[in-house]
Amino acid sequence: MDNALILRFTKSYPGGSTIEADLQLDTRRSSVTVLFGPSGSGKTTVLRCLAGLERPEKGVIRYGDEAWFDAEHGIALPPQRRRIGYLFQEYALFPHLQVDENIGYGLGRESKRKRNSRVAELMELFRLQGLENRYPRQLSGGQRQRVALARAVAPTPRLLLLDEPLSALDNVARGHLRAELRQLLLKVGVPALVVTHDRIEAITLGDQLAVVIDGRIEQFGPTQAVFDHPANRAVAQAVGVDTVLPAEIVGTDDGLVVVQTGSIRLYAVDTGESAASSVHLCIRAEEVMLERHVPEGTSARNHLRGRITSIHPEGPVMRVRLDCGIPLTAVVTRRAHDELNLRENEWVTATIKANSVHLVS
Amino acid sequence: MDWEAMWLSARLSFWTMVILLFLGTPIAYWLTFSKRRWKFLVEAIVALPLVLPPTVLGFYVLMSIGPRSPVGHLYGELTGGLLPFSFQGVLIASILYSLPFTVQPFSSAFASVDRRLIEASWCLGASRISTFRRLIVPLSAPGILTGMVLSFAHTLGEFGVVLMVGGNLPGETRTVSISIYDEVQSLNYEAAGQTALLLLLVSFLVLAVTYSLQKRVLAVWTTH
């Protein structure tokens, strides 16, 4: 492959953990690849080695016919010469520079006229007009993210690296910006590698998914394929604990979207993420509440009667699986488990707020 | 009031500050970012003037700039003059004496620049020097100002080193603190008191202005 990105390297830490990366990406198409895995699995290290911010001990990193790193031949290109764009976790905007100066920072070698027109072009693409003279501290979380992305994209990098791009945002903003981020990445047209530990983010953002567990890439493939057919138990545990179900949008009701999966209908908040009628609905186990009886006078929109199929203790919490016509997983505290006196085969009501039902195309 | 001594001290402090700005910056940068294992040795040497008696420092400076020393010899060849008991000699001693007062604030300011900002700058193609100029210096402005003011104020008040290296030549090496000492020795308390009060006020003013600048103007970038 002409523009393949090949990484095959080992990096170990004094603490004893070792990162072994082995991945080959076709960067001719502008696709988004997600490095997904639990916190501390080594995803960020892979990204930092790619950027040249850390140096592996062994192996190679090649981009096309260009060697970025080659331990045997003593090659280690500094970050300045790799032409990559890096989006840091908290965005790392330069606090003493205004928005336009931040975006233009990487264009130092261009003429002033070229620099200004490139900055103006990006300000428009990222909907930042009018914010030219603001300082980063005067921006909202979403605006900061767009400035950071515009800044990374400005010097026309060959590859974009994004480290937990949404983790610095609050919950509400995160929901809105997930879909927007994907649109922006596609618009920019630069192949991107995104690190996240969030399943919903992985599903929304990625065309391809690489699952990283304990420093190794355990599975790599199209996102849906990895979620549907985890290669092994570790991957299944990483991707498969929450509820992910195919569903159809069947209507709207008072601003809410009604989705049907199997015989069950659920309300979801329309975040405009999916125009298509066939979607996947994702529910985090943490956002499912369990009650003995059908509650009266609650703000939550979705109540499902279901039978408990299994209860597994997981540290301070219990993972409860239900059959409500659809399989559903809930996580409750041990105390709640005791107070509700939950047992297998008993009937309970699962309550899910409409904005906890995430729709993903 | 010994205006001549006041003016001499002001000149000495100014030049010490300026030279230390250019000398202290690379030393502080190296101390902050180098990964050499023997870095601590350099750190200890830079900090020596903090603990050494000024007489000891002055003694060694005097020995090493004398006409028979390599430095003194070279200086004599180039200028035909002598370093001991001259303004230039006192300047060299002052620079060494105030080195830690510049290097330590500089390097703690450099070190407090968020590592990720520096890495972000590298990833945007900026070289290390360019990153230093465009990112680290502006974000370290309060620390750089502190280091400069401290070296100025510290030189203004130095006594032992000047006495060892420069002696007491009016207009050449007789600084404010030596002038005060001299007046007291000759029981001229009124003149000593006036000069001392002026020195106290100037020092206080310089520090007060610096700290207020740090809080109100320069802190804007670094907080948040």
How far is Cα A66 from Cα A196, in angstroms, rounded to an integer? 28
Query: A141 in contact with B at a CB cutoff of 8 Å?
Result: no
Q: With CB atoms and an 8 Å threshold, state whether B124 touches A106.
A: yes
Query: Whole-number mean pLDDT of chain B?
Result: 91
CA distance B39 to chain A (A): 21
Residues of A in contact with B121 (CB under 8 A): 94, 105
CATH number at residue A101: 3.40.50.300
CA distance A118 to chain B (A): 15
Query: Whole-number mean pLDDT of chain A?
Result: 86
**Closest Cα in chain B to A53:** B119
Q: How many domains does chain A have?
A: 2
Do A126 and A223 lie in one domain? The reply is yes
Give residue-wise pLDDT tens across range A32-43: 999 998 888 889
Cβ B4 vs Cβ B182: under 8 Å:
no
Q: Give the pLDDT mean for B101-125.
A: 95
Q: Cβ atoms within 10 A of the Cβ of B124, count?
A: 26
Q: With CB atoms and an 8 Å threshold, state whether B120 touches A88.
A: yes
Do A307 and A169 lie in one domain? The reply is no
- Single out the residue in A211, A239, A267 at which a domain terminates: A239
Q: Is 90 exceeded by the pLDDT of residue A157?
A: yes
How far is Cα A268 from Cα A250, in angstroms, rounded to an integer? 11
Query: Which residues span the domain enclosing B163?
Result: 3-222
Do A178 and A164 lie in one domain? The reply is yes
Do A230 and A318 lie in one domain? The reply is no
CA distance A152 to chain B (A): 7
Q: Chain B interface, mutation test: which of A88, A89, A149, A167, most B Cβ atoms within 10 Å? A: A88
pLDDT-derived band at B25, boundaries 50, 70, 90: very high
Query: B46 in contact with A at a CB cutoff of 8 Å?
Result: no
Residues of A in contact with B142 (CB under 8 A): none
Do A59 and A101 lie in one domain? The reply is yes
CATH number at residue B199: 1.10.3720.10
**Closest Cα in chain B to A106:** B124
Q: Give the pLDDT mean for A321-336.
A: 88
pLDDT-derived band at B49, boundaries 50, 70, 90: very high
Which residue do the tokens 């498969």 mark? A240
Give residue-wise pLDDT tens across range A55-108: 999 999 999 889 999 999 999 999 999 999 999 999 999 999 999 999 999 998
**Closest Cα in chain A to B220:** A96
Q: With CB atoms and an 8 Å threshold, state whether A51 touches B123.
A: yes
Sheet containing A58-63, strands listed edge to edge, beginning at the edge strand earlier in sequence: A75-76, A66-70, A58-63, A4-12, A18-26, A216-222, A208-213, A32-36, A192-196, A159-163, A84-87
Q: Which chain B residues in 102-131 lie under 8 Å from chain A, judged by CB atoms? A: 114, 116-117, 119-127, 130
Q: How many residues does chain A have?
A: 361
Query: Which residues span the domain enclosing A271?
Result: 243-360
Do A191 and A55 lie in one domain? The reply is yes
Do A235 and A247 lie in one domain? The reply is no
Do A85 and A119 lie in one domain? The reply is yes
Q: Which two three-digit tokens encode residue B167?
A: 């002696």
Please report, to the nearest 10 degrees, the dihedral formed by the alpha carbons of residues A56, A62, A67, A69 taken in order: 0
Cβ A121 vs Cβ B145: under 8 Å:
no
Coil, helix or strand for A313? strand
How far is Cα B158 from Cα B149, in angstroms, rounded to an integer? 14
Task: Quote the percentage of chain A above a pLDDT of 70.
Answer: 94
How far is Cα A5 from Cα A25, in angstroms, rounded to an integer? 5
Residues forming beta bridges with residue B81, ordered by sequence position: none
- Single out the residue in A195, A210, A239 at which a domain terminates: A239
- Single out the residue in A212, A239, A266 at which a domain terminates: A239
Q: Is 90 exceeded by the pLDDT of residue A243?
A: no
Q: Is 50 exceeded by the pLDDT of residue A53?
A: yes
What does the DSSP assignment read for A212-236? EETTEEEEEEEHHHHHHS-SSHHHH
Do A117 and A186 lie in one domain? The reply is yes
Do A25 and A133 lie in one domain? The reply is yes
Element (H, E) at B39: helix B39-51
Q: Give the pLDDT mean for A338-348.
A: 89
Q: With CB atoms and an 8 Å threshold, state whether A106 touches B125.
A: yes
Q: Which string of b and e fits A74-95 if b means at least 16 CB within 10 Å?
A: eeebebbebbbbbbbeebbbbb
Q: Is 80 exceeded by the pLDDT of residue A24?
A: yes
Q: How many domains does chain B have?
A: 1
Do A91 and A198 lie in one domain? The reply is yes
pLDDT-derived band at A274, boundaries 50, 70, 90: low
Do A150 and A262 lie in one domain? The reply is no
pLDDT at A154: 94
